[in-house]
A = this chain, B = another copy of it.
Amino acid sequence: MALVIGKPHKRADGLEKVTGAMKYTEDLRLAGMLYARLLTSPYPRARIAEVPRAAALAVPGVVAVVTADDLAGIGQARRELANGRTAYTGQPVAVVVAASEAAAADGVEALRAAARFEPLPAVLTIDEALAPGAPLVQEVVEFEEGDAQAHATVEVHAQHAETPGNVTNRVTFARGDVAAGLAQAEVVVRRTYTTARVHQGYLEPHATVATVDPVTGEVTIYTATQGQFYVRRETAKILGLPEAQVRVVPMHVGGGFGGKILLHQPLVAALALLLRRPVRLVLTRMEDFLTTTPAPATVIDLELGARRDGTLVALRGRVLMDAGARPGAPLATGGILLGGYYRVPHLAIECLEVLTNKPPVGAYRAPAAPQATFAIESAMDELARHLGIDPVALRLKNASRPGDPMPNGRPWAPMGLREVLEVLDAHPLRHRPKAPGEGVGVAVGGWLGGIESASACVRANTDGTFEVVVGAVDITGTLTTMGLIVAEVLGLPPERVRVRTADTSQAPYAGMSGGSKITYTVGTAVRLAAEDARRQILQIAARHLEARVEDLELRDGRVVVKGTPAAAVSLAEIAAMSMRFGAQYAPVFGVGNTVVTRQSPGFAGHLVRLQVDRETGEVRITDYVVVQDVGRALNPPAVEGQMLGGVAQGIGWGLRERMVYDPGGGLLTATFADYPLPRATDIPRVETVIVEVPSDDGPFGAKGVGEPPVVAGGAALANALADAVGVRLHTLPVTSRMLAAVVAQALPAGLRSPEPNRTP
């Protein structure tokens, strides 16, 4: 019987966050610190004709103007600034460094006014990029592992393009004979689904401070990142330094969602090396929108063939991802999820990465999953409606089961897709009568789950409190959960356990906080470390009490001889005995050193009821149920918080968010006034239903929780909207304006269904 886990616990850092007391990177002030601001490209593609640094240097307080050439002596750092040409609006071209933020801003303005760019033809959309004779976004494409790739672990054969072009990567999956399968199908849904470029919308802009030890040359980087070790590795590589010379201090992250991994850290570190002064770069909101790495827009062609009884027979898909100006889109994950949720004997999926002259894309919570899920879950819904089958029943009939092959041929791990669907199936909300303009939608979606190696330490203090040291950054309350794991293993109240994230020079290794894997992998290391500490405690107690380890039990902070409660020793006494001058015992210092090599996919289902105002197109969500298999909810409020956050961001995907570029490549939505993040008033009351299908690998059966609940939100909303207005749109987001146009039958041609369902 669990003592601690599974019960509600407050988040350890909650009070600091809600009171505004928490310190972020922007709050850092180092002695002698300089302030950097970026001169960015005003054109999506241009030749840099002139950057007359004198213009900025004339501004009082400006210390330096740095261009790519100035960084030539520092490893590969020159690549951090545009060199000769620019590839997207917002690309950093030069840095103005000054004694104050204001002077740096003035310097950038002066430089911007004086700089000359010669615009070149650019491609801004997938269509433009694929057109014959289109300008090349990159003349020579360099392939690197992108941030988004590091979220999902999938084995695929990706083909890099061999000839220059804007299609830079291609991933294919196939089984059976898809042409024959589609020919056999009695009904085929054939649609093209599009999704917008969407931003992670964190509240804290990107922020980095770097400093260099004047003697040792060691670089210390204070930064809001989800992946301190990743930042260290990449920065060391770019600067040409050994990793031990680069120390990354992970600051509190004011929202990340995949968007805070690696961005300007190597540049800021290079500036500190160049100028031998601490340098800070904190983006403005507009710079953040212009230069950071959002989720890719996609165009997905899907043909889904079935028998009249609803049995799927064939799926053909083509996924185009707009990667922006640099390869790195999460192609494989998109393809696997598109074709993986349901059993389909004949399958062919092609995923293509297309470069455009826009900022490179990156990871956003469950990269590729909302887009692919929107496509397959819209198609399933349309199929159900066409066949007159209940949409949940159709999904249950076809749902993949553990052991079924995924599109890449690997078997599905144990998972709760079916269990989640069963909860949705039984939920009364689905069957309540509907008013006019009211719609009900469901959708389900999953996440394969990241795997990674991790170490962790659990150390006793001499007063019987414990400290846990990990290398993972807390973005979702994971440190609180680590503390619960240790409290559970040691039989202690959680207040006696404190969890710390150490910097890269001291922390046990952990992967980045992304891919829904921190509790799953680092939590496992923490559990092992706590068990190691427990073993050490019992061994010391056995010697001290002259008893056998098997006869001892640990409870309420004491080791007791079973059946002889008077024979006991407290954890404080044990710790003090093991850590003092002249000690006779080694310190209680538990270590977990582990690798989790099996995924535990997580699934979440969404059930939404909403009301569309037929005149304004305004949407009012009246009821929302989110159901998630989390393996085991170690701290239920933390899990529910993730589910609620997933719903909120799903509403962004479904109804509101898109980054809009003008024909000249300028971003029209570069402030929160223009980029419509869901506000608190847009979020309905949400019912959360936790399903627990235990993982074999995660601690106490836990699975990754962070990503699954965002996956199917947009799809569920689209399905509910189709139900509400009787017309289905195949694009996300569906805005009120579009809905009003649908109702008025004034929809632009491109948004109409291109053809009816084919019934051969």
A positions within 8 Å CB-CB of B: 15-16, 19, 21-22, 29, 31, 150, 153, 213-216, 229, 232-233, 236, 242-244, 450-455, 457, 459, 461-463, 465-467, 469, 496-498, 500, 502, 505-509, 511-512, 515, 536, 578-587, 589, 591, 593-595, 597
**A233 interface neighbour in B462, B467, B508, Cβ under 8 Å:** B462
Residues of B within 8 A of A244 (CB): 461, 465-467, 496-498
Which residue of chain B is the closest to A216 with respect to CB atoms? B16
Would you give the shortest CB distance from A332 to chain B, in whole angstroms? 12
**A229 interface neighbour in B452, B515, B579, Cβ under 8 Å:** B579
State A536–B496 Cα separation when bound (angstroms). 32
Residues of B within 8 A of A463 (CB): 233, 236, 242-243
A21 contacts B586, C-beta separation under 8 Å: no
A453 contacts B578, C-beta separation under 8 Å: yes
State A566–B123 Cα separation when bound (angstroms). 49
Which residue of chain B is the closest to A536 with respect to CB atoms? B593
B587 contacts A455, C-beta separation under 8 Å: yes
Which residue of chain B is the closest to A581 with respect to CB atoms? B150
Residues of B within 8 A of A580 (CB): 452-453, 511
A215 contacts B584, C-beta separation under 8 Å: no
State A445–B422 Cα separation when bound (angstroms). 82
Which residue of chain B is the closest to A591 with respect to CB atoms? B591
State A454–B585 Cα separation when bound (angstroms). 9
**A579 interface neighbour in B215, B509, B578, Cβ under 8 Å:** B509
Residues of B within 8 A of A453 (CB): 578-580, 583, 585-587
Residues of B within 8 A of A500 (CB): 505-506
Knowing A584-B595, A587-B454 touch, does A21 contact B214 (C-beta < 8 A)? yes
State A570–B504 Cα separation when bound (angstroms). 22
Q: Which of A236, A450, A462 has the most CB of B within 10 A?
A: A462
Which residue of chain B is the closest to A247 with respect to CB atoms? B500
**A581 interface neighbour in B15, B214, B450, Cβ under 8 Å:** B450
A461 contacts B586, C-beta separation under 8 Å: no
9 residue pairs bridging A and B, Cβ less than 8 Å apart: A243-B465, A244-B466, A244-B496, A244-B497, A450-B581, A452-B583, A509-B579, A585-B595, A586-B594
State A463–B242 Cα separation when bound (angstroms). 7
Residues of B within 8 A of A583 (CB): 451-453, 595, 597
Which residue of chain B is the closest to A242 with respect to CB atoms? B465
State A480–B19 Cα separation when bound (angstroms). 44
State A80–B511 Cα separation when bound (angstroms). 45
Residues of B within 8 A of A593 (CB): 536, 586-587, 589
State A698–B328 Cα separation when bound (angstroms). 52
Would you give the shortest CB distance from A205 to chain B, in whole angstroms? 21
B153 contacts A582, C-beta separation under 8 Å: yes
Residues of B within 8 A of A19 (CB): 215
Would you give the shortest CB distance from A31 to chain B, in whole angstroms? 6
B589 contacts A242, C-beta separation under 8 Å: no
Knowing A29-B31, A462-B243 touch, does A467 contact B505 (C-beta < 8 A)? yes
A15 contacts B589, C-beta separation under 8 Å: no
B236 contacts A153, C-beta separation under 8 Å: no
B455 contacts A21, C-beta separation under 8 Å: no
Residues of B within 8 A of A594 (CB): 586
Residues of B within 8 A of A581 (CB): 150, 153, 450-452, 511-512, 515
Residues of B within 8 A of A591 (CB): 457, 589, 591
State A356–B716 Cα separation when bound (angstroms). 82
B582 contacts A452, C-beta separation under 8 Å: yes
Residues of B within 8 A of A232 (CB): 461
Would you give the shortest CB distance from A154 to chain B, in whole angstroms? 9
B15 contacts A216, C-beta separation under 8 Å: yes
B509 contacts A459, C-beta separation under 8 Å: yes
Which residue of chain B is the closest to A583 with respect to CB atoms? B453
**A508 interface neighbour in B213, B242, B450, B457, Cβ under 8 Å:** B457
Would you give the shortest CB distance from A260 to chain B, in whole angstroms? 17
B586 contacts A508, C-beta separation under 8 Å: no
3 shortest interchain CB distances as A-B pairs: A243-B461, A453-B583, A509-B587
State A455–B648 Cα separation when bound (angstroms). 46
A236-B463, A451-B581, A500-B505 known; 8 other A-B pairs, CB under 8 Å? A242-B461, A244-B461, A244-B496, A452-B582, A452-B583, A453-B580, A454-B586, A506-B506
State A233–B587 Cα separation when bound (angstroms). 15
State A597–B586 Cα separation when bound (angstroms). 10
Residues of B within 8 A of A233 (CB): 462-463
State A595–B587 Cα separation when bound (angstroms). 8
State A215–B589 Cα separation when bound (angstroms). 29
A455 contacts B243, C-beta separation under 8 Å: no
B454 contacts A509, C-beta separation under 8 Å: no
**A584 interface neighbour in B455, B589, B597, Cβ under 8 Å:** B597
State A500–B233 Cα separation when bound (angstroms). 19
State A500–B507 Cα separation when bound (angstroms). 11
State A214–B582 Cα separation when bound (angstroms). 37
State A642–B453 Cα separation when bound (angstroms). 43
State A465–B457 Cα separation when bound (angstroms). 21
Which residue of chain B is the closest to A453 with respect to CB atoms? B583
Would you give the shortest CB distance from A281 to chain B, in whole angstroms? 20
State A225–B581 Cα separation when bound (angstroms). 16
State A450–B509 Cα separation when bound (angstroms). 33
Would you give the shortest CB distance from A447 to chain B, in whole angstroms? 15
Knowing A467-B244, A469-B506 touch, does A215 contact B455 (C-beta < 8 A)? no
Which residue of chain B is the closest to A495 with respect to CB atoms? B242
State A242–B492 Cα separation when bound (angstroms). 14
Residues of B within 8 A of A31 (CB): 29
Would you give the shortest CB distance from A367 to chain B, in whole angstroms? 13
Would you give the shortest CB distance from A519 to chain B, in whole angstroms? 16
Which residue of chain B is the closest to A229 with respect to CB atoms? B579
State A645–B466 Cα separation when bound (angstroms). 39
Residues of B within 8 A of A589 (CB): 455, 508-509, 591, 593
Which residue of chain B is the closest to A154 with respect to CB atoms? B582
Residues of B within 8 A of A462 (CB): 229, 233, 243
Which residue of chain B is the closest to A15 with respect to CB atoms? B215
State A29–B29 Cα separation when bound (angstroms). 10
Residues of B within 8 A of A215 (CB): 15-16, 19, 21-22
